[in-house]
Amino acid sequence: MPISGLLLIDKDPDWTSHDVVAKVRGLAGTRRVGHAGTLDPMATGLLLLGLESATKLLTFLVGEDKTYLATIRLGASTVTDDRESEILQQAEPAKVAALTMPVIEQALAGLRGDIMQVPSSVSAIKVDGQRAYAKVRGGDEVKLAARPVTVSRFEVTSEARQVDGQFLDLDVVVDCSSGTYIRALARDLGAALGVGGHLTALRRTRIGRYTVDQATRLQDLSKEALPILPAAAAAAQQFAVKTLAPQDEVDLRHGKRLLLSEAERAGVSKLQPIAGINQAGSLVAMLERHGGQLKSLVVFADA
């Protein structure tokens, strides 16, 4: 039986997140595989997969902040806000060529911080019981409501490039909250500059404290060598840890709460989950603080 833990995948283009899950299920010999944070087929980079009981850990990871590297093409808008669909509108080449970095920077500044973002119409958000992308590709017009997101960094990382005398390509880095659509940032940057914009490349490099440097490409995996990060180590990388005494573990498995000492209260956040790890190094539970106590959010099977 595969061990419970996370498998960090560096996804290649043209694979859906579901494709990756299906492939890993075959390699690991288990149906108990899930992922945290979908990547579009066009995108590459970090995809977190949970195996066995660690699929429960994914619940606490989907909302973590993320980092992306992207290329935004200014000069045209598209149906899907990326290069995977036809052009809706194209700006005059002279207007695109006239863009300067100070003007672009001013537009970038308006898309940083706490903003209201209208998701891309081809997102996985459900509208009348159907995924938005399915309705759009079926020819329906979809209008989604704006939602709050946080973009803590949105910066150009290299010199802008003229393309075919018609477009301007910008390489950018984005640090953002979960639920932020990078395609929508490309769209909105192009709209703010009056020339249209869409993504031509997208790579996720970080989810919380996990980075793509830890990840493995699918082609390098085998049944004999799955680099699974054990559940306890995976939880400890992202969350604060409470080391459990033997009686603590017994109490948690019987639905009881744990008392926190004064010193522990000072070091434990009320906002972030806490990983309860026993003295044998196994993840027992994910916990949350309630006043001077810790309450289990989920308890993992006894290894």
Q: Which residues lie across from 89 on neighbouring strands?
A: 77
CA R_g for the chain? 22
Q: How far is CA 101 from CA 7, 12, 107, 155, 193, in A?
A: 40, 32, 10, 11, 11
HSE, side-chain direction, 13 A CA sphere, residue 119:
18
Tokens matching residue 299: 């308890």
270-303 per-residue burial string, b: 16 or more CB within 10 A, e: under 16: eeebbbbbbeeebbbbbbbbeeeebebeebbeee
Residue 65 annotated as catalytic: no
DSSP 3-state of 172: strand
> How many other C-beta atoms can be found within 10 angstroms of the C-beta atom of residue 6?
27
DSSP 3-state of 110: coil
Exactly one of 12, 14, 19, 40 is catalytic; name it: 40
Q: Which residues contact 110 (CB under 8 A, 6 or more apart)?
A: 192
DSSP 3-state of 173: strand
In whole angstroms, give the CA distance from residue 3 to residue 1.
Answer: 6
Tracing tokens 């082609």 back to the chain, one arrives at 219
Which amino acid would we find at residue 18?
A: H
Tell me the catalytic residues.
40
